[in-house]
A and B are shown apart, each in its own frame.
Chain A
Amino acid sequence: MKRIDHSVDNNQRDKSKKWGLWIDRKRELSFRFQGRRYKGFEGDSLASALAASGVSVFSRSFKYRRKRGIFSLNAADTNTLVRVDAMPNLFAERVSLREGLSAQAQQLLRFNPLFVLNFLSRFLPAGFYYRSFFRPRGAWMLWERVFRRVAGIGVLSQRKVAHHALPRYDKAYGFFELVVVGGGLAGMTAATKAARLGVRTLLVEREQRLGGDGFEEEFAPSPSQNTLSQKIPAQKIPAGLPAALTVMTGAQASGLFADRFLAVVEEKKRRLHKIRAQACIVATGAFELPAVFRNNDLPGVMLASAARRLKRRYGVVVGRKPVIFTANAFGYRLALDFLALGIKPVVLDPRPVPHIPDALSIRDHHIVCANGVALIEAVGKGRIEGVKAKIAGSEHVFPCDSLCIAVGFAPAAELLVQGGCELGYDATHHCQRLQSLSEGLHAVGAVAGLFDPAKVRHHAEKTAETVARALKSRRTQKTEARNKARNKPQNKLQNKLQNTLPAAALCDDGAQNWHDPVFSHPRGKEFVDLDEDLQISDLHDSVRDGYDSMQLVKRYTTLGMGVSQGRHSNINGLRIVSRLTEEDPARLGLSTVRPPAAPESFGMLAGRSFQPLRLSPMHRRHTQAGAKTMVAGAWLRPAYYPPSQQPSAKEVRSIVEREALAVRNSVGMIDVTTLGGIDVYGEDAAEFVDRLYCWSYKKQLVGRARYLLMTDEAGVVADDGVCCRFAPDHLYLTTTTGGSDAVYRALLFWRSQWNLKVEVSNSTAAFAGVNVAGPFAREMLEGLCEGVDLSREAFPYMGVREGRVAGCRARLLRVGFVGELGYEIHVPFAEGEALWDALMQHGKRWQMIPFGVEAQRLLRLEKGHIIIGQDTDGLTLPHEAEMGWAVSRKKPFFIGKRPIEIQVERGITKRLTGFTLPARHRDDLPKECNLVMHEGAIDGRVTSIAYSPTLRKIVGLAYASRSRKTLDIQLDSGRSLQATIVPLPFYDPEGARQKI
């Protein structure tokens, strides 16, 4: 394809080269848009560089696919959303130009077939999807797919994402005494004043440079410098201060959360800052408001501030024949800007009589200036060519190539509203204004309603002084508190920061809002919300249909729900609805503002996120043995040890069965480090454990272990484990893997409630543990043990001993969870791997294999042992789980005692029952949580089920009412199976094998 060298690069730049304070004309950059090559300068944004080369169409609108161009140049409208490289939905005015940048529009620009919708607007009013496209039945399913493809803006292209290397996103915490949001005149003044007074200040500015919309010469920043001292030559910053003031440009405060916690998005560094501020001064400025008239969305129609910004920052002249529609001094200042470039604008003013100061400023320039103007429409094909207006009853047409609107401002108070400040409509001045400020938040500059530079400076300095005073006294308060005695009650810090809002009367004329910039036209297309393509008729229809409060209008018409979140549409929408409903705008109100105030990429939210992981010291050995790991809380545990990668489901079953049979027939070893361990010390250790668990422990002998069952205050089963007594004043409690944190917290809580002499410490990570189980366990361990006699007489079942295993100091417990002769060995965490290695080496003679969690679950099921959380739920009482034997009837108190009593008296209706099924069902097993039915009603559910290789039939546990002989289990498919109820345990009912 022939490369087109665009010959009109930068034809819209200011030839005198006086303007363009942000660009460096010596450094030219080339870039692409829609495949065409353009040239811009260092310091340009993508939008300004395109505007400089005469590009006026950036996108097509959401609904009607109308051509759209620069409007607010402030991320207050979606006209300029483009895709750059792989990233969709970027505001062109926020994209810094760089060499080789490649940008694309996100809709077809030149010729867009969907533009036909523009002529079908009568059939697509607001809320059309509530009333149409769903007949015949099922039609919506097809239409929805069409609409989903047509709606939406940017597209995330997987191919493009794969092509460009994914950048890394990061997060960091920050801590400041004062955060000033916004680096315009007000923000810079407040920040430097506060820093000079010694307050640790952060100034956050979303553009790449400070200065904001500083329309006054001396605040215009020079292009190559970025230091604050050069920004404000009139004020000197003393040496040694920089540490007190930190400046972040290219960073936007996106959310203000409780207690002045700010989310600041720094896109260029791809970092999300989470900043805690003791006080916040918001200087975010104001959004200029548009006028609503027919075809007000034509490319070339823009806000006056956009035109001024293009000229001052980037040296771009928006038109040679401009028309300015203005009701305040800003429009007249723009007229003076044009005159300075040698261009004569036409000034149209809706105010009935000339405003003296404004009129005087342009008096000597002999330009066309009219008052009492009512706009009729903008005309042009794809671009503005003229403006039709009504002046004193007669229609006039003004040919033009640019129309600039200046009819007022609304405070950019999003952060403040997030922080709980209130905005209200001031009927006298026809503008939105802050009514109240929350604690610790302050507003300066245009967001507070001040526009005159002298007033802004004065107010910003005063605010900074107030804040600095309060922060310094808080500093001394804190150091005093720290020096006093500890553990004294912390009183709420006195000295709430006083907020100062300027009185409404101070807000000057320069920003005067025109009360009615809405000009409806019989043929429509007067856009209130450009993002959503909403016309005045849409709001009219909404009110007529009965959706007449602002909350309903918003949701029914989607006013303000687009990307710009009502920044250019909310106030005019409010005015229109106020007129339609004849309701006072102050009473109508606006909807809540929620974060984010800045667009946040998903990477920003996902970058550097933390998910703690806990690993046993033997983990390396498990992965080396090829174990399949499973997640248990924050731990990783080996589920089973497959001999090869990727076994099939059937192969997995046989691996697990093989591991289980090895334990039954010879010896196996499992890593039980994840089980919780808590050391309870002190005179009252046994009394304490007595009160927390159901059974009795005061008389437990040293050297013995006893089952632990914990219930919560309502008597519901919470956790279980084993209590080992190593000394009269030392008990060691074990907990389930998932319960260790909760049990430890509960122990700490109850310890603080009672006046017992007891100390509790969480030893879960202090010990690594293995359970060696099987008929050869004793034989195998004897060779490795020192200082402990493993014989049956010396170390009976449910005994605990201390000694050495493979040279490691160990606590040995004889417990029977899996139903075989077994020893649970707890050694110091740092010695876990050494112990595992020694046991694996030594155990080769008995063909000892490691077994995983799956095999352990199977083995315990064969013994009918419950697993908390699987065989119990949030309501299970001990007696329902057949654990009534572990509940003491004689103790005066334990947690849950009375509720258990009450409910046992009432009667226990369901119990955990053991059942079996013949082996032929093993390929279509009922699942855990399949229902147990009785006479068409739900009687209970299956909690555990598995095929037992030892017993060669299927065994399981289920809840069911008593006095049944069989269980009617309903499978997922609807089929039912009759299971035989058998007493527990299924395997070795006398428990002889674990007691040998």
Chain B
Amino acid sequence: MKLMPCPVHGERNIAEFVCKGPVLSMPSATHGSPQLWARYLFLAENKAGIIDEWWLHTASGMWFVARRDTTCDEILQTWSIEAYRKERRKKQKTTAQR
């Protein structure tokens, strides 16, 4: 049974968690085209590599993000939502600066 290093509760059996899927941004609700929406809803990228995913710790109702390498099913890092947002902002800043 795999271990998930939850950012708040520590390492727990994966049976305590539910995965929602990759972190994606929703297309516009007012003028998103049908093609864009169809791709968002029904076509999974299924990337073989490192992806960020939404996970839920069912016992505490806490959502968080886990970075996972799908080729070897290894969980690389996990963040609480605030920490993830901070991380994303930092990354955007550095890419903008480049």
Residues of chain A whose beta carbon lies under 8 Å from any beta carbon of chain B: 257-259, 261, 274, 276, 486-492, 713-714, 744-745, 748-749, 752, 762, 892-894, 897-899, 902
Contacts and interface: CB of A to CB of B under 8 A. Distances in A.
Nearest to A257: B1
- What are the 10 tightest A-B residue pairs by CB atom distance, in nearest-first order? A258-B2, A261-B1, A259-B3, A490-B5, A487-B80, A893-B29, A489-B79, A898-B29, A714-B41, A902-B34
Given A259-B1, A259-B3, A489 B77 contact: yes
Nearest to B87: A489
Nearest to A745: B56
A899 B35 CA distance: 11
A904 to B, nearest CB: 12
Nearest to B76: A492
Contact of B7 (A274, A487, A713, A894): A487
Contact of A745 (B6, B61, B73, B76): B61
B48 to A, nearest CB: 18
Given A259-B1, A486-B8, A898-B32, A491 B77 contact: yes
B80 to A, nearest CB: 5
Interface string B25-51: 011111010100100111000000000
A893 B29 CA distance: 6
A487 B83 contact: yes
A898 B8 contact: no
B80 A492 contact: no
A489 B1 contact: no
Contact of B41 (A489, A491, A899): A899
A894 B40 CA distance: 16
Contact of A749 (B7, B20, B78): B20
Contact of B83 (A489, A744, A748, A902): A489
B29 A892 contact: yes
B1 A902 contact: no
Contacts of B29: 892-894, 897-898
A714 B42 CA distance: 9
Given A892-B30, A898-B37, A899-B41, A258 B1 contact: yes
A607 to B, nearest CB: 18
B75 to A, nearest CB: 7
Contacts of A276: 1, 3, 13
Contact of B63 (A490, A749, A897): A749
Q: Which of B1, B28, B32, B77 has the most CB of A within 10 A?
A: B1
B58 to A, nearest CB: 8
Q: Which of A259, A713, A894 has the most CB of B within 10 A?
A: A259
Contacts of B62: 748
Given A745-B56, A745-B61, A487 B8 contact: yes
B63 A752 contact: yes
Contact of A902 (B28, B37, B40, B42): B37
Q: Which of B3, B8, B27 has the most CB of A within 10 A?
A: B3
Interface string B68-91: 000001011111111100010000
6 contacts: A258-B1, A489-B7, A748-B56, A748-B63, A762-B61, A898-B37
Contacts, number: 78
Given A487-B82, A902-B37, A748 B61 contact: yes
Contacts of B63: 748-749, 752
Contacts of A491: 77
A142 B94 CA distance: 75
B52 to A, nearest CB: 12
Nearest to B78: A490
A486 B58 CA distance: 20
Nearest to B83: A489
Contact of B61 (A487, A744, A898, A899): A744
A898 B30 contact: yes
Interface residues of B, number: 39
A274 B87 CA distance: 37
Nearest to B27: A898
Q: Which of B37, B40, B75 has the most CB of A within 10 A?
A: B37
A713 B78 contact: no
B41 A488 contact: no
Contacts of B54: 749
Contacts of A490: 5-7, 77-79
A259 B27 CA distance: 38
Contacts of B26: 713
Contacts of B32: 898
Contacts of A487: 7-8, 80, 82-83
Contacts of B37: 898-899, 902
Contacts of B1: 257-259, 261, 274, 276
Contacts of A261: 1-2, 13
Given A892-B29, A898-B37, A488 B61 contact: no
A691 B79 CA distance: 26
Contacts of A892: 29-30
A323 B22 CA distance: 66
Contacts of A749: 20, 54, 56, 63
A996 to B, nearest CB: 41
B56 to A, nearest CB: 6
A488 B79 CA distance: 7
A261 B37 CA distance: 41
B61 A492 contact: no
Contact of B75 (A492, A752, A762): A492
Nearest to B84: A489
Q: Which of B30, B42, B62 has the most CB of A within 10 A?
A: B30
A487 B27 CA distance: 30
A887 B16 CA distance: 36
Contacts of B56: 745, 748-749
A745 B59 CA distance: 11
Given A261-B13, A745-B58, A892-B30, 19 more contacts: A257-B1, A259-B1, A276-B1, A487-B7, A487-B80, A488-B83, A489-B7, A489-B79, A489-B83, A490-B5, A490-B7, A491-B77, A492-B77, A713-B26, A714-B42, A748-B62, A749-B20, A749-B56, A898-B37
A274 B83 CA distance: 34
Contacts of B27: 898
A714 B43 CA distance: 12
Contacts of A897: 29
B30 A492 contact: no
A275 B78 CA distance: 24
B83 A259 contact: no
Contacts of A257: 1
A109 B29 CA distance: 77
B25 to A, nearest CB: 10
A897 B87 CA distance: 30
B41 A713 contact: yes
A752 B81 contact: yes
Contacts of A259: 1-3
A479 B89 CA distance: 29
A489 B61 contact: no
Contacts of B13: 261, 276
A809 B7 CA distance: 40
A261 B14 CA distance: 11
Contacts of A488: 7, 83
Q: Which of A261, A490, A752, A894 has the most CB of B within 10 A?
A: A490
A276 B62 CA distance: 24
A491 B11 CA distance: 12
B9 to A, nearest CB: 10
A485 to B, nearest CB: 10
A755 to B, nearest CB: 10
Contacts of B20: 749
A492 B5 contact: yes
Contacts of B61: 744-745, 748, 762
A185 B11 CA distance: 34
A486 B3 CA distance: 20
Contacts of A492: 5, 75-77
Contacts of A713: 26, 40-41
Contacts of B76: 492
A745 B6 CA distance: 17
